[in-house]
Structure formats: C-alpha cells, structure tokens
Amino acid sequence: MKFSQIEIRDLLFAGLIISLAFGILLAGGLKGLTSGGLFLTIFVIAFLTAGIGFLLHELMHKYVAQKYGLMAEFRAFYPMLGLALLFSFFGFIIAAPGAVFIYGMVNKERNGKISVAGPWTNIVLALIFLAFALVLPNATGALNYLLTYGLYINAFLALFNMIPAMPFDGAKVLAWNKVVYGVTVAVALGLVILSYIV
C-alpha cells in the first residue's frame, strides 16, 4: 500500500480525534475529562475500539482499490471531526471523519466490492471482540469495557455505513449486489443486538 505524507497526517489526525471524541462520550462528556487517570484508560479503550475500527475500515477501502490498480487516498473532513469532538461533550457523536477518494475507471462491481470491504472489516473486528467476550465471560473493569465496546462500536460502524444512501458504503453495495447488501446488514444488525446481550 502506498501513502502520501498528507494522507498519513490525515489518517493519524482523524484516528486521534475520533478516539478522543468516543473517549469523551464514554467518560460522560466534559465531566469525564476531570477524572484524570481514569480518562486516560477510557481514551485507550476508545482508541482500541473506535479508533482502530475506523482506521482499519478506511485502510481496507484503500487496499481493495489499490489491488484493482486504482489510485486511492484518504482525506480527513476537518469540520466534521470538529463537530464530532464538540457533540461528544453533549452525549452523542455524528461521525463523518473522512473518506477514501478513488481515482480511475471503476465499474459497479468493483465499486461495490471496495465499499463492502470497510463494513466487513468492522464485522470481523466485532466478531473478534465477541469471541474474546465469550471466552472471558467473567472479565471485569477495563477489560470488560474493552470487549463490550469493541463489539458494539464495530458492529454499529458496520451497520451505520450500510445505510442505502449516498455517500454511505451501503448505497454502492446495494447498487452492485442486493444479496451481499442484505447479508452484510443482517450480520451487522445481529452483532449490534448481540452486543446488548453479551
């Protein structure tokens, strides 16, 4: 995979801000920032769940696009990152941190496969967190939060990105293959539901 300096900067900055926003959200907003060492733990959990989930999602779009010989570069949406950080203080997040821009001849099938790669990356991550949660049913403290949020956040990211409207991945997947779209949504939704049970 080839990266430009601007792309590396945007990926790192977007990953950091998304992790910080989710950390603030999980900590209970502004009040959580005053909790010192506890917030640091929450931030690490947010990075290992939301931050890594976001970064791998975008990198998988890029990887598949480049495998097709296309140019693909991530660009951060700085105003949206600012809004995500701002809203996290009030108990919710609107996350549109950026996107992988693809250049070259892309047909409907390739576009669908590039698009579905992101949500399936989050589904795989959610399954990994689920597997650890089942193996470690008595996990407590930070480990319990890591497994619980890792499952929920990645399942939710997969489902959210499958919204069947532009510019979401779901619109491009649906235009390519309705069966793949349906299976992806069903699996992501099932994992979201499971995250409330496990």
**Whole-Å CA distances, 51 to 62, 121, 166:** 17, 13, 23
Name the residue among 61, 17, 51 with its Cα closest to residue 161.
Answer: 61
**Residues identified as active-site:** 58
For position 37, what pLDDT does the model report?
Answer: 60
Question: Which stretches in the chain have pLDDT values below 70?
Answer: 30-37
For position 130, what pLDDT does the model report?
Answer: 95
- Beta-bridged to residue 101, according to DSSP, are 73
Residue 169 three-state SS: helix
For position 42, what pLDDT does the model report?
Answer: 86
* Dihedral, CA of residue 166, residue 24, residue 150 and residue 6, to nearest 10: 60
Span 101-147, pLDDT tens digits: 998 888 999 999 999 999 999 999 999 999 999 998 887 888 888 99
d(CA 83, CA 111): 29
**Whole-Å CA distances, 178 to 106, 164, 173, 189, 196:** 19, 11, 7, 16, 28
Q: Tell how far CA 115 is from the center of its chain.
A: 13
